Amino acid sequence: MLRIVAVPLLFLLVGSALAVAQGHLPVRPGLIGLAVMLASAFVVRRHWRSLHVDRELGSPERALWHALASRALIAGQLLMSLGLIGPAMHLHSVAVHAMAVDSWTLVLGAIVSFYIARDPEPRSDERDNAFVARATRIAYATLIAQLSVVIVILSFGADFNLPAFSQPLIAHALIVCLMLASMVRSAVQLALYHFDQHTAFASV
């Protein structure tokens, strides 16, 4: 259960570190992030193959762990980059172009690492669909909560003496909201699997 919180936090930190390292490294931080994703995918694939049949993960769980980690890394990089660039973000600037190149490199890493880590024989059924439905409801509520905060900030920002946000910044903030809601969905669904498995082993 602790892993469901620790893994996204770790990858959020890695993503943030990549954004901070922008311009201070001999290689693009996006490429380092891509290498981290591929290496992690090979490690977890090996680990999942070594698990005993009673403890092996189902196809949806594997996909969820991958989604949680990769989205946390991309969200971390994006969030920290937005923070460093500031509210007056201009789309066609050196900093935003660098952020975009790194972000899309990380997206490429997420796609490739998914194919490395995925179950070679994917299977899911009605129980998985039931978990998806419950997790999606919570993710939807999370998205609504985030959008409410964004609406309040945009509406009353001037009253709180907040600086004016540029349109590209608002667009990227909304992307982050979608990514966080998606991460919540993955985390909740993994928690449901965890509790279900825990109950199953307790009752055997």
Q: What's the length of the chain? A: 204
197: Cβ contacts below 8 Å, ≥ 6 apart = none
182 binds another protein (CB under 8 A): no
Amino acid at 166: S
DSSP three-state, residue 166 = coil
| Minimum CB distance to another protein smaller for 11 or for 131 | 131
Site for another protein contains 133 (CB under 8 A): no
Q: Binding to another protein (CB under 8 A): which residues in 28-67?
A: 53, 56, 58-59
Please answer whether residues 62 and 117 qualify as being in contact, where contact means their C-beta atoms are separated by less than 8 angstroms: yes
> Nearest 5°: CA angle at 201, between 197 and 204?
135
Nearer to another protein (CB atom), residue 36 or residue 192: 192
Residue 196 is a binding residue for another protein (CB under 8 A): yes
What does the block give as tokens for 198? 């825990």
Nearer residue to another protein within complex by CB, 60 or 109 = 60
> At closest approach, how far in Å is the CB of 120 from another protein?
15
Residue whose token pair is 């985390």: 187
Which of residues 91, 130, 141, 162 is near another protein by CB under 8 A?
Answer: 130
Instruction: Choose which of 78, 117, 187, 192 interacts with another protein (CB under 8 A).
Output: 192
The minimum distance between CB 127 and another protein, in angstroms, equals 4
Q: What 3-state DSSP class applies to 92? A: coil
Distances (CA, A) of 47 to 68, 117, 183, 194, 196: 17, 10, 23, 18, 22
Tokens of 69: 């980690």
Site string for another protein, 75-114 (x = CB under 8 A): ----------------------------------------
Candidate ranges 91-99, 106-114, 177-185, 191-199; the one touching another protein (CB under 8 A): 191-199
DSSP single-letter state for residue 125? -
Chain contacts with another protein (rule: CB under 8 A): 53, 56, 58-59, 123-128, 130, 192-193, 195-197, 199-200, 203-204
